[in-house]
Amino acid sequence: MPDATEQQAIADLARQVVADVAPREVPLFRPLSQAYFKDPEKTLKGGGGADRMLGFGGMGAVGTLMTPMILQSTQVALTSLVGGMVRQVDSELGRIQSWLTDLQAKPASAPPIDVTPAGAPDAPVAPSPEVLDQVKGVIAQQLVQLQCPPDQCDAVTARICAALLDGSIAEQMLEKSCPIARQVQQLKIEIDELKKAQDVKEVVESEYFERICQRANDLRRQAPRA
């Protein structure tokens, strides 16, 4: 069961999706989301008291709505995105640490490093294409399991992905689950600068290089495991 912060994040994202793909359900969103977080399984089946809150007489009526499906799919998408990003951050730290170790051992060879471009220090931590593909697959699979109308599946999947990437909600959830993500991004920027150095041996022997190595080690120890 998501905590209050996660529930709010899921609801905020799902509301955006509902407004786009099922706008007629927006007036029903609040009671439906409350029923969903109280008992997801019953709400997806049309129960959990959601029908009574909405004034429906039949238990199956709520199940015909898109909102419960969107709430559930948004929840699994957010969980998948954050989990994938945590693994991505850990993998990037591993590559950085390995590169620093190799450079320290053989400074003359200056081995290349394969890391995702960091961008600006204050830019959002961007998911890799592999993470995005994973999230899309999770959403599509969830919608099939929920028997979402086939003609709606692609639109809902695309809109959930857009909502995750366009706003700050997913980034906030990432910072909660992986608070070192922003520090890793800053470290990648500094590594980019190190790669431009002409005298690698001089860089390796500097206090600045030692500090970067120590930071990489410290961050790796703090990195959560998904």
**How confident is the model over 101-113, as a mean pLDDT?**
69
Average pLDDT, the chain: 83
Of these ranges, 44-48, 194-198, 201-205, 222-226, the one predicted with the greatest mean pLDDT is: 201-205
**With bands split at pLDDT 50, 70 and 90, how would you rate the model's confidence at 63?**
very low
Percent of the chain with pLDDT over 70: 82
pLDDT reported for residue 226: 53
pLDDT reported for residue 118: 55
What's the chain's length in residues?
A: 226
Dump pLDDT digits (tens) for 156-204.
999 999 999 887 887 788 888 888 888 888 888 888 877 777 677 788 8
pLDDT reported for residue 196: 76
8 Cβ partners below 8 Å, 6+ apart? none
Alpha-carbon gap, residue 49 to 31, rounded angstroms: 10
Which is more confident, 180 or 64? 180
Alpha-carbon gap, residue 35 to 205, rounded angstroms: 61
Percent of the chain with pLDDT over 90: 40
- Give the DSSP per-residue string, 81-125: HHHHHHHHHHHHHHHHHHHHHHHHH-TTT-----------TTS--
pLDDT reported for residue 61: 43
Helix residue spans in the chain (DSSP H)? 4-21, 29-38, 40-45, 50-54, 67-105, 129-145, 150-166, 169-177, 181-195, 200-204, 207-222
